[in-house]
Amino acid sequence: MYRPIRTALAVTAAVIAAAPMMARQDAALKDLIPKGMVIGVAINQRQSDGVDAAAVDIITKQFNQITPENLLKFQPVHPAADRYTFDAQDRFVQFGVDRKMQVVGHTLVWHNQTGPWVFQGTEGKPADRETLLARMRDHIHTVVGRYKGKIHGWDVVNEAIDEDGSLRKTPWRDGIGDDYIAKAFEFARQADPNAELYYNDYNLEKPQKRAGVIELVKSLKARGLRIDGIGNQAHWRLETPTIDEMDQALVDLHTTGLKVMYTELDINLLPPAGRGADPAVANPYANGLSDEKQQQLAKRYADIFGLIVKHRDRVSRVTFWGLSDADSWLNRGRMNYPLLWDRQRQPKPAFHGIVDVLNRAR
Ligand code: XIL
């Protein structure tokens, strides 16, 4: 077939121009992350059930670790004293096993997403220590035991430290006493001696809170309990914390000798807003994100991954709290843009920014 030479050249030129773009689209975070580190994402049930096929493709290609966004929290998996629900949970675990991903369990003991029945005793009184310990033991042995050999590590206790570094007041602590955390780690160890066990919390860039967490994990180690890592949730914003504060926190947490991981990374672009706030102020990107903000977000993620590669020996895992902006818990009725894929499941400049940083570090 006759094809004018000009058109052929134009086609070739277009292919060449598109090549770097394709290469970038083809890049997979799991292939670029420093050796010894895993990179993952929290997935929701539509994803682990395979309903959201577009998301499943991206997750499969990009990540080698998954965390369940909600399925393995106390309430979803153990809604009543004599009832566990494992159908969707089993599918979640199998999703990871099928893809040879590291599967993390989140979370065994927390004050949120735990049914009120757990803390209720008889005659309208709160449950006593023995009752609560028996419930905690049964829960941990049943759930951790079921996924023995399949779940790599567990967030055993979540968010137990207050902003001032003291133990947070929770129904678990009220009922059992301060050793409820130690007990949770003891039960988890019994249920799966080979699973890694983590303590997970947020705002660890705040020195007082961090000091409380470090003291807690040291006391667990001093009791001879197994604890393998500290999860830093990394729910961050555009301006705070600073990279220097993150750096300081990482170095500090690592002095415990434990693995340090970023377990719930996202960047909240919206201002804190109470009810009744002016929508123009509370929801400034309702009609889309400006290029300027988009670039700021890309720069922020690039800086964070710059820190991560700088401290590659101190960070064992990075997990994003959701795949695309549409999936994020940070929307809550507003339009937020905290993640690497947009609502059409296209990679954002933040994704390419991270790819560039990881490529340069190789
Ligand atoms: C969030 C989920 O993303 C939401 O879907 C759910 O409604 C509430 O919990 N810290 C944690 C996570 O450890 O479990 C939370 O996940 C976000 C804050």
DSSP label of 201:
E
Between strands 65-68 and 102-109, the pairing is parallel
Take atom 9 of ligand 1 and give the residue whose Cα is closest.
70
pLDDT per position as a tens digit, 190-235: 999 999 999 999 999 999 999 999 999 999 999 999 999 999 999 9
Q: How far is CA 38 from the centre of its chain?
A: 12
d(CA 171, CA 245): 32
> How far apart are alpha carbons 18 and 277 in whole angstroms?
45
Does any ligand 1 atom lie closer than 6 A to the CB of residue 329? yes
Q: Quick check: 163 and 206 in contact, CB under 8 A? A: yes
Residue nearest ligand 1's atom 13 by CA: 158
Scanning 267-290, the segments in alpha helix (DSSP H) are 279-282
List of the chain residues with pLDDT < 50: 1-5, 7-8, 11-13, 15-19, 22
Residue 233: left (phi > 0), alpha (psi -120 to 50), or beta? alpha
Structure-token pair, residue 145: 């035991």
Query: In the prediction, which pLDDT does 15 show?
Result: 47
For ligand 1, say whether the CB of 69 is within 6 Å of any of its atoms.
yes
Is 215 considered catalytic here? no
CA of 15 to the centre of ligand 1 (A): 43
Residue to mutate, 329, 330, 336, 339, ligand 1, most ligand atoms under 8 Å from C-beta: 329
Q: From CA 247, how far away is CA 262, in angstroms rounded?
A: 12
Measuring CA to CA, which residue among 255, 92, 112, 242 is closest to residue 171? 112
The Cα 227–Cα 216 span in angstroms is 11
Helix (H) or strand (E) holding 214: helix 207-222
Catalytic residue selected from 69, 196, 205, 264: 264
Here the tokens at position 138 are 């049964």
Side chain identity at residue 232, one-letter code: N
Q: Is the CB of 219 under 6 A from ligand 1?
A: no
* Widest Cα–Cα separation across the chain: 90
What's the start-to-end Cα distance of the chain, in Å?
A: 45
Question: Which secondary-structure segment (H or E) carries 59?
Answer: helix 53-62
Cα 252 to Cα 189: distance, rounded to the nearest angstrom: 26
Q: Which residue has the tokens 């190789």?
A: 362
The number of helix segments (H) and strand segments (E) in the chain equals 14, 9
Task: Spell out the residues 6+ positions from residue 296 whose beta carbon is closer than 8 angstroms to its own.
Answer: 238
* pLDDT (tens digit per residue) in 1-23: 444 445 445 544 454 444 455 45
Three-class DSSP category at 58: helix
Q: Is-contact 137 191, C-beta < 8 A?
A: no
What is the spatial distance between Cα 41 and Cα 67, in angstroms, rounded to a whole number?
6
Tell me which amino acid residue 255 is: T
